[in-house]
Structure 1
């Protein structure tokens, strides 16, 4: 692109959306491949301040946001400066993803890297990089030199009538509030600019920096706030700051591959050993319970069992050694013969995952990663990880990489939230950072997670089924629906349940509820955890969602309902028009004799069919479509 002459601005349709004074000129404009999203960089001629704008189909979304980061105590860069050089790039490609929500990911954008020069930059080389996709706009700072980033000034002024979905903590409640009432939030933030205009703000490719959140300034401006200083030597590349825009929350969710595209391709030379799948948590920490869990997993096509806290001692004790089996007596009396369990699982096609708390994970990482590989363990769950600071971010990505080097998959629990780095290290199967079933969220709360938390990647929902809390949260059909609505390549099921052949033992987190053989378990048995195609058919945060996902030629459909009864009318236009399908639907029905009260219906359908599901408050439905 060329630098625009302010004398030609009246010829641009953008002018109707951006109020300009004589003292403000447009320095750069960059449009998305389809032309709908437009990023502009402006300069205030009086102050020389640079600011940015984002419009969608000519409508303002972000208006005159600030730019810049502070290095050291006084130097602020990228907030002003002469554009000395522009490097342009257009990419139109796609890549394959065996571990995601779509097997073929489009990667189509226009990029400009602007070299900025200003006397205040001193010894630092400063660049501002901008990418514009059809799905969103992203920017980041590239700095040459040595220093410490002390703070950030990037801001995103939204229209004052905007409503936002925010959360005070990574696993906290997500609330909808007027942007003018917002104080702060973790990332991402979902914004309703108008009834037909939604935006999402967040960060991507956080690899070597402090985590970012938002505070509000003025009436409706979201300011980026980093969690701590960031030291660099030689060069610094910030995480991406992004703004995504679409007409509906569903369209934003369906385009969440945007975050993956802002990350580098896989750095693992061999990914053939990475196996998505379903996981049963082994809650008894006994050999008997483990064998029973493996038998259940094999019978119901679950790929893994996982040993949670307590298998190597009290998880919060510095004396606990994660290289040895040494049961926490408060959790289980044992015995647990881990080598025998791993060997038995191998015979049954069921692998083992081991939990390790950060207290042991930090000092023992170099020892236990190759050790677990030698044991035949498939992966690790990191617990109570330290997050936020640059050092914490660096360490976690180092740990994931090290696990990848030793063919171990990873689930990061607690306060970590994804930023798309699972593309670079696809052994990072899932992360928590979500208000999952351990917190007994209502369906309305889960629907906020679907449309807000789901914007940035996989979420370990710790899905329950037979536990009594299901009645508090919603219904059993809605539990089926959650496993489709919330994407996770490792899908944890039956979180608080144990097989009938497992002993009931005392201790925190151990389950009294018993796995039952009810007909609808066939849904979980057949459930994939990664997908070839995803369609978000309808939905709104906190209210309802209808999502369809395809694996091969089989489609899975889920409907999740919030606190108001409604009728879901679902057109099946996503089906192959050349085929007819056997539809199996799973719905709540109080008249069914099983404890879970789920009825299974069957009928023939095609792409012209519209299915109707009357759904009570906090209930749901699920369906499987198989070509005949």
Structure 2
């Protein structure tokens, strides 16, 4: 392109921007600024975002189908909010919801209805959505929202919810990107595009069109037909100076959802859970005994307990074990549940969406009468409006029968657990049962876990060399034992599966399993101590005055120093430290366990193996 042509284009952009009127919205601390441009030549709306005067999102489009142009700003409403709400459970006991908001009321030539654009500025990020409170029906075919990133922005790209991540520039993507989408800007800032309160709408992913660069577009799963009134999900742009701050600030997703609607939440009890791998009454009772011995709150019957899940004839109203899963068909769920109750253990049942769709209204009161604690939804449909609405309505129905929920497969959270906290967790993640490498497990906290809890299934004795007692030099490239210990802290899930591939007989002979006996699954406080995406992360979480700390590295060995300055300086503590000890530790897992006296000035030197980790329990003396 010739120099004079470039000059003319730049001049044209300047002229067009001079004709626009700009409105500014600041975050409470003044660091983040959202700018809305009005009165553009074609009646379009555009926005940009800056952090401490550094560009985050360059001038980008706003609007939905039917509201792309010929728009006129009629009125602006200003509000502010600063409150602290208590969670039923979470990564911290209390959450601050602090933001400034502008509602831009827009009208369009030739139309009588109006569109509200609600924009909130938090210290953690900017969020906006499109709202039509009128009665006129509308079909939404597309969303005009774009996110124009500064040049040389890179992202961690995942095409679907359970995939691994690839580090890519914002150009020529190989398909759609899942949300949230974490990015690194050339100026050193980190940002994350997310979606909140996607309850009665279709899923929106992100795309970069062929031939375009640094322009991220919203791609709706399908049209929204004849909807009124409506509010689109929130589009969220989080901004941070360090990757750890993105994860530390993930409460913004919960804040963008409606408050808890369950009046009595006393029956909602997070905890650890153990999968029953042999589907017989006798095996189930042995697992219940094991759970009671090891302070595990729940046992779980996975696919196959009511027949083949691929068959429409399989009936979740009765036990009828799939012969492909077990050679004995004597499972009695009510009997097992009654036995579990005598041991203080709850029972969860897996039911896939096909059976849920056919029998939901029958099985919910039935399971409640049996004393079932919760249901794990399997093979759910995600993306379109019909099944998104169905899924969230099913969670509401479960709440009416005191049943907790774990949603599996491609479902990713957008904060609905705040409104219906009986939805404890969900998959939508490349979990440990898929044997991700260290590069993946050190990427997930800064990507997938920004949007909420992830049921990633801790797999402790899963490795072949442990069960077959192979020598250390014959080990596979899977994560170490301490990597899995640390993941149970790092990968937040109120319902935490442990020993995923194991039976009670596998869990013996190593002292470090006492760590899992003490492990909580929800927390009073959480601190993301440090981390780099795809390299390492350290997290400290506190419950009832006890700190649990997890540190992991990627596929590379790593030495680092961890400061314990998050501890109370007025107190002294005793730490139990779990490290990968190598051949000098003569147990199957080669985990070294030692105790140390520590305080807020202590610095722990970590020497982690490739795909390794360190775990700690720190108690007041």
Q: Same fold (TM over 0.5)?
A: yes
Q: 1:80 to 1:538 in 2, by over 3 A?
A: farther
Contact 2:259 2:419 in 1 (8 A): yes
Q: 2:121 aligns with which of 108, 111, 132?
A: 132
Corresponding residue SS for 1:115: strand
Separation of aligned partners in 2, 1:374 and 1:111: 46
Contact 1:78 1:141 in 2 (8 A): no
Q: 1:616 aligns with which of 601, 604, 609?
A: 609
Q: 1:595 aligns with which of 565, 588, 600?
A: 588
The CA deviation string for residues 13-49 of structure 1, in whole angstroms up to 9 with x for no partner, is xxxxx97855343431100000001001013632222
Point out where structure 2 has 5 or more consecutive residues left out of the alignment: 1-12, 467-475
Corresponding residue SS for 1:497: coil
The CA deviation string for residues 252-305 of structure 1, in whole angstroms up to 9 with x for no partner, is 100000100000001111111100000000110111211111111111111000
Q: 1:396 to 1:604 in 2, by over 3 A?
A: same
* Cα deviation, residue 89, structure 1: 1.1
Separation of aligned partners in 2, 1:84 and 1:607: 56
Separation of aligned partners in 2, 1:41 and 1:626: 50
Match of 1:328 in 2: 322
Match of 1:478 in 2: 483
Separation of aligned partners in 2, 1:533 and 1:270: 24
Separation of aligned partners in 1, 2:349 and 2:145: 40
Contact 1:411 1:429 in 2 (8 A): yes
Structure 2 residue 619 is the aligned partner of structure 1 residue 604: no
Match of 1:211 in 2: 203
Match of 2:3 in 1: none
Q: 1:109 aligns with which of 84, 93, 99?
A: 99
Structure-to-structure mapping, 1:243-282, within 5 angstroms: 243-282=237-276
Structure-to-structure mapping, 1:576-591, within 5 angstroms: 576-590=568-582, 591=584
Contact 1:575 1:607 in 2 (8 A): yes
Contact 1:146 1:233 in 2 (8 A): yes
Structure-to-structure mapping, 1:152-231, within 5 angstroms: 152-183=143-174, 184-194=176-186, 196-217=188-209, 218-231=212-225
Structure-to-structure mapping, 1:438-477, within 5 angstroms: 438-468=433-463, 471-477=476-482
Structure-to-structure mapping, 1:207-606, within 5 angstroms: 207-217=199-209, 218-332=212-326, 333-468=328-463, 471-500=476-505, 514-590=506-582, 591-606=584-599
Contact 1:24 1:42 in 2 (8 A): no
The CA deviation string for residues 369-391 of structure 1, in whole angstroms up to 9 with x for no partner, is 11101110000000000110011
Separation of aligned partners in 1, 2:478 and 2:124: 33
* Cα deviation, residue 80, structure 1: 5.1
The CA deviation string for residues 97-151 of structure 1, in whole angstroms up to 9 with x for no partner, is 132101010100011111101215x243211110110001000001232122111
Match of 2:50 in 1: 55
The CA deviation string for residues 457-483 of structure 1, in whole angstroms up to 9 with x for no partner, is 000001101111685321000000100
Separation of aligned partners in 1, 2:499 and 2:120: 42
Contact 2:68 2:144 in 1 (8 A): no
* Cα deviation, residue 216, structure 1: 0.8
Separation of aligned partners in 2, 1:20 and 1:526: 65
Structure 2 residue 79 is the aligned partner of structure 1 residue 86: no
Contact 1:83 1:117 in 2 (8 A): yes
Separation of aligned partners in 1, 2:612 and 2:488: 14
* Cα deviation, residue 233, structure 1: 4.0
Match of 2:5 in 1: none
The TM-score, its normalising length taken from structure 1, stands at: 0.92
- Output the aligned Cα RMSD: 1.5
Separation of aligned partners in 2, 1:296 and 1:187: 39
Separation of aligned partners in 1, 2:570 and 2:228: 58
Contact 2:489 2:550 in 1 (8 A): yes
More displaced 10-residue stretch of structure 1: 396-405 or 188-197 = 188-197
Separation of aligned partners in 2, 1:195 and 1:498: 50
Q: 1:625 aligns with which of 614, 618, 621?
A: 618
* Cα deviation, residue 488, structure 1: 0.3
Match of 1:508 in 2: none
Q: 1:124 to 1:78 in 2, by over 3 A?
A: farther
The TM-score, its normalising length taken from structure 2, stands at: 0.93
* Cα deviation, residue 617, structure 1: 1.2
Contact 1:287 1:337 in 2 (8 A): yes
* Cα deviation, residue 79, structure 1: 4.8
Q: 1:334 to 1:589 in 2, by over 3 A?
A: farther
* Cα deviation, residue 337, structure 1: 2.0
Q: 1:118 aligns with which of 100, 108, 113?
A: 108
Contact 2:107 2:113 in 1 (8 A): no
* Cα deviation, residue 234, structure 1: 3.1
Match of 2:8 in 1: none
